[in-house]
Structure formats: C-alpha cells, structure tokens
C-alpha cells in the first residue's frame, strides 16, 4: 500500500515538472511560437523586424523603482502599471519616396490576474528617458515626468486607439503604423512608446520582456515598407475649341447703310466634354449691333458681345448669330474686319479665334458728258 502511494506521488511530481517546463518554454494551449512575422509579402514590399533597444515598466504602486532588468512587463488597469518600450529602427530601410505600409507591435502574454478583458493603447513618448533611471516618478535622474507615470501633455501623445486583449500564453498585436511613420520620416524623435491598459475592473496582464528567456519572447516590432512607384506621365489631350465665323461675301460700297448678318459656330472636336464655354465678339469700328441670338450681351463701352454657351460635349457644336449695321461714315478703301474668340473653363489660356473680313470700296461713278458750244464765225461778202 505504501509502495503504491509512493508511485502515485512520483508520477504526480513528473506531471507537474513537465507542465512547469512547458510553461517556462512558452508553450501554451494555443501553441505560441517565439517569433512571428508575415510569411509572404506582395512584390515591392519589405518586412523588417526591429529589435528591442530597451523595455521596462512604470508602476504607480512602486513609484521609485526601476524595472529595466525584470523579465516581465506588467499592464495593470486602470493605468497603474505601464510598459515602456523602445525599438531600434536603424535597420529599417526607409528612404525618400518610401512609405510605411504597416507597423505592428507584437507582445507575448505570459499570464493574467483574472479573466477580465483589457483594452490597451500605445502612445509615442515625446520626453527623453534613461533606461536605468526611469521610474513612475522620473524620466531620468533629477528629471521628473511632467506628470507621474509619463502622463503629462509634454510626456506623450494622448490620442486613444485601444486594442482588446483577452488571451494568455499567446501573442497579441497592436497597430502602431502612424507612430512608426512619424519616427522614420523624422517628424518625431523615437523615444519609444508607452502602453496603458484600461478595463471595467482591476486586472493585470503580464507580458514577456526582452530579459525573458534570453529575449526569445521579447516584444517585437514588424515594419513593412514599400517604395512608392513613380507615376508615369499620362498624356491627356488638350481640349481644343474650333471657332468659325461666316458672313456675307462681296464688298460694301462707301456711302450706303448696310446690315450685315454673320454666324459664329464653336465646336468641340476633342474626346472630352468642355465646361464653361464662352464666345466673345468685338464689334468693328463703324458698326452697331442690331440683334443677336442665344442671349448675347453687349457691353456698350467696349463694344464686346459675349455669349455664355456653358457645357459643350465632345463632338458637339453651338452656333450664335449677330446682325450689325454698318454706318455711312465708314472710310473707304479699307476692310471691315470682325474677330470672334472662344474659351472654356478647363483651359482658359487656350483661346480659339475666327475672323471675317469684307472690303469697303468707293463706288465707281460713270463720267457725265461735258456740254460744249460751237462758235461759228460770221463771214461777210461784199
């Protein structure tokens, strides 16, 4: 009977030792592995695992103690224990013209005090701190935080995006892309990040630090970068307007009052719709506007007539008509010239022009016969 009891006790000890060894090696119910990263990446992307430079925990219950050599990082709600982690980003290839596609903080959860869920936020630290001197009260020797626990507005950012944590003996992941982008592009100094946990009740999650099992389960920061492609210039055809002006043929004779009617046609031969098409026409000197179609407006001071055509679809055209009176005092031996222009809002500097010209001549007058008298001398004969 005693021998059986002894055998049972020895068997129990073996089982307990086996479980202890398994837990110490970091193998849990979910089979977590020491390292995890992206297995495959799309072409052009590169993944870099940034190593931990230093990590510690700020603990409100022990505000003067430094935990940089501790094997664990502790997250205790509500913000009572706060891990402080800094990564070395010197190995990340980040050049001008590159972007951070994704940056993920990975933490291994060793244990927790109870089954409550914890919400974790990661904040970039903006105050320089010394790893062997930092504590809840101090960022470095004789240099306190603006507020204890790295909680002042000058100590860290305070934007809050939380990640749910509820697993143990497994890795958790927190997106820190914006933070790492700021570090790599030089917008912010890399002073590490502070983790703050919050929950509806008191709960503590114990994480593996860089000292745990010689760093096998140390915090990880995976950074995926990519060179932005140089865009190929796309040739976009310049929207072109064509304007054509048609008036009467022939000549105008000086001295008579004439009316002249002409049509202005604006066309869009391009394959793009044009917006804000406007047609303008300046009245020639010696003419007056009698009428015009499609709501043309005359500026009497400048003699400019304007039509707001609006949108002109690809391949479409619009025609306006104007009637002018040519005044009798217009000089002869010249040419009556009228110029029309068209523009559009998509390229206001691209001006289309069309003109119409008609010579003005002095009428040819047939010579009148010159009257003459015949004088016959009188001759007397004796």
The pLDDT tens digits of the residues spanning 175-207 come to 999 999 999 999 999 999 999 999 989 999 999
Residue 174 has pLDDT above 90, yes or no: yes
Give the per-residue pLDDT at 44.
Answer: 79
Superfamily per CATH, domain 242-361: ntegrin, alpha v. Chain A, domain 3 (2.60.40.1510)
Beta-carbon-side half-sphere exposure of residue 54 (alpha carbons within 13 Å): 15
**Every domain range in the chain assigned CATH 2.60.40.1510:** 242-361
Lowest mean per-residue pLDDT among 23-37, 64-78, 90-104, 255-269: 23-37
Question: For residue 207, which of 62, 76, 65, 107 has the smallest C-alpha distance?
Answer: 107
| CATH 3.40.50 at 28-227, yes or no | no
Rg, the chain, Cα only: 46
CA distances for 139 relative to 25, 61, 110, 188, 234, angstroms = 33, 17, 27, 18, 54
Whether pTM exceeds 0.75 = no
Q: Tens digits of per-residue pLDDT, 43-102?
A: 778 899 999 999 999 999 999 999 999 999 999 999 999 999 999 999 999 998 889 989
**Every domain range in the chain assigned CATH 2.60.120:** 28-227
Q: Tens digits of per-residue pLDDT, 120-159?
A: 999 999 999 999 999 999 999 999 999 999 999 999 987 7
């Amino acid at each position: 009977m005693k021998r059986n009891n002894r055998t049972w006790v020895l068997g129990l000890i073996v089982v307990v030792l086996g479980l202890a060894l398994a837990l110490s090696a970091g193998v849990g119910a979910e089979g977590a592995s020491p390292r995890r990263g992206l297995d495959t990446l799309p072409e052009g992307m590169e993944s870099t695992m940034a190593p931990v430079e230093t990590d510690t925990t700020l603990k409100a219950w022990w505000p003067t103690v430094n935990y940089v050599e501790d094997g664990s990082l502790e997250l205790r709600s509500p913000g009572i224990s706060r891990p402080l982690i800094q990564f070395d980003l010197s190995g990340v290839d980040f050049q001008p013209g590159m972007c951070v596609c994704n940056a993920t903080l990975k933490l291994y959860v060793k244990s927790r005090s109870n089954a409550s869920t914890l919400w974790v936020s990661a904040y970039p630290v903006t105050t320089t701190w010394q790893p062997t001197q930092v504590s809840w009260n101090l960022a470095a020797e004789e240099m306190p935080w603006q507020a204890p626990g790295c909680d002042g507005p000058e100590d860290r950012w305070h934007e809050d995006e939380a990640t749910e944590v509820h697993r143990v003996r497994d890795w958790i992941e927190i997106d820190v892309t914006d933070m790492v982008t700021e570090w790599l592009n030089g917008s912010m100094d890399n002073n590490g990040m502070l983790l703050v946990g919050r929950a509806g009740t008191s709960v503590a999650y114990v994480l593996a630090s860089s000292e745990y099992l010689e760093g096998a389960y140390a915090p990880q920061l995976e950074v995926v970068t990519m060179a932005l492609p140089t865009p190929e210039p796309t040739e976009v055809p310049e929207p072109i307007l064509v304007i054509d002006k048609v008036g009467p043929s022939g000549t105008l004779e000086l001295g008579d009052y004439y009316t002249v009617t002409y049509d202005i046609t604006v066309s869009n031969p391009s394959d793009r719709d044009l917006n804000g098409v406007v047609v303008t026409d300046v009245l020639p000197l010696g003419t007056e506007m009698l009428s015009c179609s499609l709501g043309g407006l005359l500026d009497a001071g400048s003699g400019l007539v304007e039509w707001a055509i609006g949108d002109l679809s690809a391949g479409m055209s619009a025609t306006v008509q104007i009637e002018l009176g040519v005044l009798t005092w217009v000089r002869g031996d010249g040419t009556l010239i009228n110029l029309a222009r068209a523009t559009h809002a998509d390229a206001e500097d691209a001006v289309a022009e069309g003109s119409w010209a008609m010579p003005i001549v002095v009428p040819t007058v047939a010579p009148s016969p010159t009257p003459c008298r015949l004088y016959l001398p009188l001759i007397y004969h004796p």
